[in-house]
Structure 1
Amino acid sequence: MIQKLKDYDYTLIITPIVLTAFGLVMIYSASMVTAVVEGLESTHYLGRQALWFGVGMVGFIFTSVFPYKYYQKLMKIIILFIILLLTGLFIFGTEVNNAKSWYIFGPASFQPSEFAKLALIMYLASVYSKKQSYLDDFTKGVLPPLIMTGIILGLIVLQPDFGTAAIIFLIACSVIFSSGIRMKHLTLLIAIGVMLIILAFPYLITEERLSRFTGAYQPFETPDSDGYQLIQSYLAIGVGGLTGEGLGQSVQKLGYLTQAHTDFIMAVIAEELGFIGVIIVIGLFAVIVLRGIFIARKCTDSFGALLAIGIASMVGMQAFINLGAISGILPITGVPLPFISYGGSSLLVMLISMGILNNIAMHVHKNEHENMTL
């Protein structure tokens, strides 16, 4: 038992918990005024996120001790369940921010596309680990899993939720690339993807979606409409400077910066804790991503290695897209900052993913200890 406890990766235990605890502090700071304006207790959003933190920690502990290899046996059930959940949104889902992405049951709600990220990582890791012997055959080894990926992406695009779809696409690319696919097949996939985007472009791009690009790259031309949110984010970041205005001292959260406790929480962090606070948060994300890649390299089991790569990619890419949106590098897509932004579904999936990654690390460390004793 003592040896088993030693095998866990405490970096991957401490770092997510620190990020989530910090997120609770920042959610309270960013949301207390919003909550009061909405006629709620100032601690409303903090309390709900803390509840999800508790649920997430149960998931984290369970997945830390549950052997990751069993997910391969459950793969058909997991992927079928996710497809049913995504399909059911078009009948039973609730539209939020012009996207039918949520199931809402009274005070409870969850977003299936968040769980689809992890399910697809598991699916691709499982399938490509089994197809290692014939990855050279594009039709037999590479193409079949892409059909399932396309179905999940299609269901999410139709909601429409382009931010989540972009993350899932990038995650899929990272897992496929890491599986050992031949470069000519990868080039072919990229060419097919570009062609499909070009063909679908006239049907997917609306005036509202184009306005997101205008707001991101020409915000000062429409300061009262499309560019308003990004300009407020710029003000928060600029005022924060190197050390920030102090915890709880943000002005932009007082009704100027909308979604301050969700997608734009990093702007509040920048205003209150400055460039130093932002760098520390980014550094903690880098620790998780690099640790995930390190575990993947050490893992002798191809399923575990690809699963670790997928989880590390999910955290890194979601953080990058969120930070890109608040800084004007990317259009605003509604992607939350992992562990920190308000949102139960995202936090739950992130903590469960960290548990799985920790279980992979535990098996890697255990194998290393066994090899050393031989």
Structure 2
Amino acid sequence: MLKRIIKSYDYPLIIAVCLLCLFGLVMVYSSSMVLAATKFSNPTFFFDRQKFSLILGFLGFLATMAFPYKAYSYTKLLIAMALFSIGMLVIVYTFGHTANNAQSWLMLGTRGIQPSEFSKLSVIIYLAAVYAKKQSYIDQFDKAVMPPILFTLIICGFVAIQPDIGTAFIIGMIAVTIILCSGMGGKTLTKLALLAMIGIGISSPIIMMQYDKVFTEERMSRFHGFIDPFETEEDAGYQLVNSYIALGSGGFTGLGLGQSVQKFGYLPEAHTDFIMAVIAEELGVVGVLFVLLLLLFIILRGFMIARKCEDPFGSLLAIGISSMLAIQAFINLGGLTGIIPITGVTLPFISYGGSSLILLLLSMGILVNVSMFVNYHDNYSQKTKEKVQYTEPRFASKYSSH
């Protein structure tokens, strides 16, 4: 049985995740060495921290890869996880550390963790488990539809007031994806859409009353830089213009690993939000395609696992994790290419960020575990079927001769 389990693991998915993480570690060092040497007199400062997070994340990856995913749907564990997620966000709101104008961090000595990142996974697990359990009455608003949505709104609310609008938006979009795939009927989804429109209509006057707090000068500058970056290239459009320069100067093969010019203070956040611009500058189209193809492979693999999984909980888990990767990658790449305003969202597995990397590796471990159960079931069922097909003709021929 152990051999069957080991053979059932999704090794192409595991290899793809490991390649992205290792590549990301190299690029964090390359993109941050100048800033680290200037600010901390240690060119490996960010690299060392990312390496530490990668080791922790990989241990978590191995643990969740081996832990049966169905156990996450146990009621007591589910309630404990939901309360813990909300509790951590309350603590952050009360005692959190502020960085980059957002009170999103809890400090553990010299290191910080970002609970809002882990809230993404708690929302995925909670929504997947609840909607999977309530398939027989999935269209009943009071018993099935609304409880998970209320939990999601609470999480999004606490994240948004940090303020971390980008993460709150990602959590909301993940929830929408799971809801659309949960099996709800068209009438129920229409009712939810109408409720959402009513909610937006009611909240709009409240938001406008708090205009100065919601639409801060920093947030509005991102929109101005997005609309016309070259008109405001000395101010709001500075980051996007330098991203364009980095993206365009690499050519097909790039300037060479470590040879980026933009990371010498020209491109802010080169090792986090705009790391793909440095990859394009140093490794060209080849490096960009390497990252994009691996990300695309992991995302599509996740959706294929969801489609093959006959267990509603496992299927919704795979959909939630895959959609999280897809949404986060789109927002990051859309920001640095000027398709959407810059939101400060990191590129999965590549950008500097310990909480994000650990969360992603924990999520990937769960996805690999779902895939293992799907493969194990398929392989075992197929072997059993072949055995029956092989023995039945012999049995029939033995008695047909009499």
Q: TM-score range by the shorter chain?
A: over 0.9
Aligned twin of 1:52: 53
Aligned twin of 1:239: 249
The TM-score, its normalising length taken from structure 2, stands at 0.91
User: What are the residue-to-residue correspondences of 1:54-93 with 2, within 5 Å?
Assistant: 54-73=55-74, 74-93=77-96
Structure 1 residues 48-57 or 237-246, which shifts more?
237-246
Could you report, residue by residue, the CA deviation over 1:281-331 in whole angstroms, capped at 9, with x for unpaired residues? Answer: 111111111110111111111101000100001111111100011011111
Aligned twin of 1:37: 38
Q: Which runs of 5+ in 1 are unaligned?
A: none
Cα distance in structure 1, aligned partners of 2:41 and 2:96: 25
Query: Are 2:299 and 1:281 equivalent residues in the alignment?
Result: no
User: What are the residue-to-residue correspondences of 1:304-319 with 2, within 5 Å?
Assistant: 304-319=314-329
Aligned twin of 2:161: 158
1:329 is aligned, of 339, 359, 383, to 339
Aligned twin of 2:397: none
What is the SS of the residue equivalent to 2:230?
helix
User: What are the residue-to-residue correspondences of 1:174-323 with 2, within 5 Å?
Assistant: 174-198=177-201, 199-200=203-204, 201-202=207-208, 203=210, 204-323=214-333
Cα distance in structure 2, aligned partners of 1:191 and 1:331: 27
Give the aligned length.
374
Q: Which runs of 5+ in 2 are unaligned?
A: 385-402
Cα distance in structure 1, aligned partners of 2:200 and 2:279: 35
Cα distance in structure 1, aligned partners of 2:49 and 2:197: 41
C-alpha RMSD over aligned residues: 1.2
Tell me how far 1:366 sits from its aligned partner: 1.0
1:135 is aligned, of 138, 142, 149, to 138
Tell me how far 1:195 sits from its aligned partner: 4.1
Structure 1 residues 185-194 or 35-44, which shifts more?
185-194
Aligned twin of 1:145: 148
Cα distance in structure 1, aligned partners of 2:323 and 2:361: 15
Could you report, residue by residue, the CA deviation over 1:186-225 in whole angstroms, capped at 9, with x for unpaired residues? Answer: 2332333344345344233333322211111211221111
What is the identity, as a one-letter code, of the residue corresponding to 2:382?
Answer: M
What is the identity, as a one-letter code, of the residue corresponding to 1:323?
Answer: L
What is the SS of the residue equivalent to 2:351?
coil
Cα distance in structure 1, aligned partners of 2:223 and 2:16: 34
Q: Report which of the two structures shows the higher radius of gyration computed on alpha carbons.
A: 2
Could you report, residue by residue, the CA deviation over 1:331-360 in whole angstroms, capped at 9, with x for unpaired residues? Answer: 111111110100100000000111000100
What is the identity, as a one-letter code, of the residue corresponding to 2:311?
Answer: D
Cα distance in structure 2, aligned partners of 1:80 and 1:286: 34
Cα distance in structure 2, aligned partners of 1:195 and 1:340: 39
Tell me how far 1:113 sits from its aligned partner: 0.5
Tell me how far 1:119 sits from its aligned partner: 0.5
Cα distance, 1:364–1:152 mapped onto 2, change above 3 Å: same
Query: Are 2:335 and 1:338 equivalent residues in the alignment?
Result: no
What is the SS of the residue equivalent to 1:109?
strand
Aligned twin of 2:101: 98
Cα distance in structure 2, aligned partners of 1:4 and 1:30: 40
The TM-score, its normalising length taken from structure 1, stands at 0.97
Query: Are 2:134 and 1:124 equivalent residues in the alignment?
Result: no
Query: Are 2:112 and 1:109 equivalent residues in the alignment?
Result: yes
What is the SS of the residue equivalent to 1:100?
strand
Cα distance in structure 1, aligned partners of 2:199 and 2:239: 31
Cα distance in structure 2, aligned partners of 1:359 and 1:346: 20
